[in-house]
Homo-oligomer: A and B are copies of this chain.
Amino acid sequence: MARLSDVIEQFIKELMRDANTDMLEIQRNELADHFNCAPSQINYVLSTRFTIDKGYYIVSRRGGGGFIRIKKLDTDTRSYIGYLIFEYIGDSISQLDASRVLANIEEKGIVTPRERAIMEAAINGKSLNVFSPSKDVVRAKLFKSMLSVLITG
């Protein structure tokens, strides 16, 4: 049974695809009405599925004629991966955040689903069954190392 959040996510993405644009403005209440849900549900969808690390950027304005603008970041692969390696990931990264990044670069077509799954396997909690320096630190190293293949290979 599809979750509402998933449906809304797809809806927004289709709107963008159909309009062949990387920028979309929505009306929160209108959208909520369309799906017959609480307006804050829209915020939930945006904050879980249209985050920076998934390649989206949100701007909004309240008041009369307010709106939510969703912008899909156009990411030259190299600089995006570079950003991930040199800025975003840092010295430590949680499994959840790493997974999000992976989902994002797969969606962008930067890695194949299988490549993504390989990386996922490497950085998941089970594999990193390491004490000593914290798990997240080892994960960050591993992850960056694998990502660098994408821009050097």
A1-39 contact mask (Cβ, 8 Å, vs B): 1 or 0: 111001000000000000000000001000000000000
* Distance, CA A114 to CA B133, complexed state (A): 29
- On whether the beta carbons of B64 and A3 are closer than 8 Å, the reply is yes
- On whether the beta carbons of A65 and B1 are closer than 8 Å, the reply is yes
Judge if A75 is at the interface, Cβ distance under 8 Å.
no
Number of interface residues of A (CB under 8 A): 37
* Distance, CA A52 to CA B63, complexed state (A): 24
How distant is A63 from chain B, measured CB to nearest CB, in Å? 8
Determine which of B65, B121, B124, B130 lies in contact with A132 in the assembled complex, contact meaning CB atoms within 8 Å: B130
* Distance, CA A120 to CA B65, complexed state (A): 23
How distant is A33 from chain B, measured CB to nearest CB, in Å? 15
Query: CB within 8 Å of B: which of A100-149?
Result: 113-115, 117-122, 124, 126-134, 138, 141-142, 145-146, 148-149
21 A-B contact pairs sorted by A residue (CB < 8 Å): A1-B27, A6-B65, A113-B153, A114-B115, A114-B150, A115-B115, A117-B149, A117-B152, A118-B150, A119-B122, A120-B149, A121-B146, A121-B149, A122-B122, A126-B141, A126-B145, A127-B145, A128-B142, A129-B138, A129-B141, A142-B142
